[in-house]
């Protein structure tokens, strides 16, 4: 919701009530995004007639300032030159969020009613808000150029049923419970909701936007072995063939064993023949 405030200041000579060198402050207790201040006067404003001492405040054009709010609050400060005397008018324009609505408490903790809407504007990562929500009251916000809304559908004494759009989804929260919600269907969650308490027909919710993660799929790099040239491949094959061949010493040992077996067999055979011949001659002599 936008609001415009016009304030008139009268700076008189030093001897009068409001002298030069005076400091002026305007406090904004419900500043949502930024405060715009346009300073005019009945007489031409000299360049050194005043200084805006507020933080995060930029002069966009002559005597027109745009200041960024912090934690939904802002202090607009001006220090006037000690010899300044003029009739100033400061016109403020700022956004604020109206989070509290008129409600009718219910001892049972249930019920319906409420309605209306509020906006949180465009939200950056790690933005935290404390929301006071009643059934059917719509809260709108924007993330990554996409508009979203959420509302409480039903309340009990311990739980809240919450609907979140643009892509419709419904979540249930118990008191003290925290849930992270993916709004756009990518690889990570976008917001975090914590139901801190329920009082009558009102749900108190801590709302937080989360850091955006890189959802680009990572491709694995395959390591390919270099192609061996013909000259490198042939020696490798020869080496493997040489390893598979029996060594000369092993072959010689095997040959010696075979010769020994043959000689032993021959000697045994000759011995048997001689024994048989001797036995035959003895029989004939008898």
Most confident of 3-12, 31-40, 98-107, 247-256: 31-40
Q: Which alpha helices (DSSP H) does the chain contain, by range?
A: 230-244, 248-285
Residue bearing the bigger pLDDT, 83 or 130:
130
Same domain, 19 and 50: yes
Residue bearing the bigger pLDDT, 246 or 76:
76
pTM: 0.40
CA max distance for the chain: 175
Q: How far apart are CA 85 and CA 278, in angstroms?
A: 158
Domain with 196 in it: what CATH number?
Answer: 2.60.98.10
Last residue of a domain, one of 155, 180, 209: 209
In a domain, residue 234? The reply is no
Residue bearing the bigger pLDDT, 57 or 230:
57
Which residues constitute the domain of residue 41? 2-95
Domain with 69 in it: what CATH number?
Answer: 2.60.120
Sign of the torsion formed by the C-alpha atoms of 106, 109, 115 and 118: positive
Q: How far apart are CA 25 and CA 6, in angstroms?
A: 14
In a domain, residue 259? The reply is no
In a domain, residue 123? The reply is yes
Q: How far apart are CA 80 and CA 57, in angstroms?
A: 17
In a domain, residue 216? The reply is no
Last residue of a domain, one of 209, 229, 253: 209
Task: Give per-residue pLDDT as tens, 85-103.
Answer: 778 888 888 765 444 333 3
Last residue of a domain, one of 158, 186, 209: 209
């Amino acid at each position: 919701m936008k609001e415009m405030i016009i304030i008139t200041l009268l700076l008189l000579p030093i001897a009068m009530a409001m002298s030069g060198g005076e400091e002026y402050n305007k406090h904004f207790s419900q500043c949502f995004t930024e405060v715009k201040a346009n300073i005019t006067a009945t007489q031409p404003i000299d360049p050194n007639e005043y200084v805006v001492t507020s933080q995060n405040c930029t002069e966009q054009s002559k005597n027109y300032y745009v200041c960024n709010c912090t934690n939904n609050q802002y202090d607009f400060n001006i220090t006037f030159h000690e010899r300044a005397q003029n009739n100033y008018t400061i016109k403020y324009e700022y956004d604020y969020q109206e989070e509290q609505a008129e409600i009718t408490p219910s001892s049972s903790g249930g019920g319906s009613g409420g309605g209306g809407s509020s906006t949180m504007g465009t939200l950056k990562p790690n933005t935290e808000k404390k929301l006071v929500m009643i059934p059917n009251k719509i809260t709108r916000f924007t993330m990554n150029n996409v508009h979203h809304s959420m509302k409480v559908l039903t309340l009990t004494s311990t739980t809240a049923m919450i609907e979140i759009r643009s892509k419709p989804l419904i979540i249930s929260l118990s008191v003290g419970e925290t849930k992270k919600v993916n709004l756009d269907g990518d690889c990570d969650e976008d917001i975090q909701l914590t139901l801190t308490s329920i009082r009558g027909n009102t749900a108190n919710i801590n709302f937080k936007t989360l850091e955006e993660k890189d959802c680009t799929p990572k491709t694995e790099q395959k390591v390919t072995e270099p192609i061996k040239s013909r000259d490198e491949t042939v020696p490798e094959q020869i080496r493997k063939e040489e390893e598979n061949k029996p060594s000369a010493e092993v072959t010689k040992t095997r040959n010696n064993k075979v010769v020994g077996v043959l000689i032993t067999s021959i000697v045994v055979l000759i011995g048997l023949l001689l024994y048989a011949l001797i036995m035959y001659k003895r029989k004939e002599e008898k």
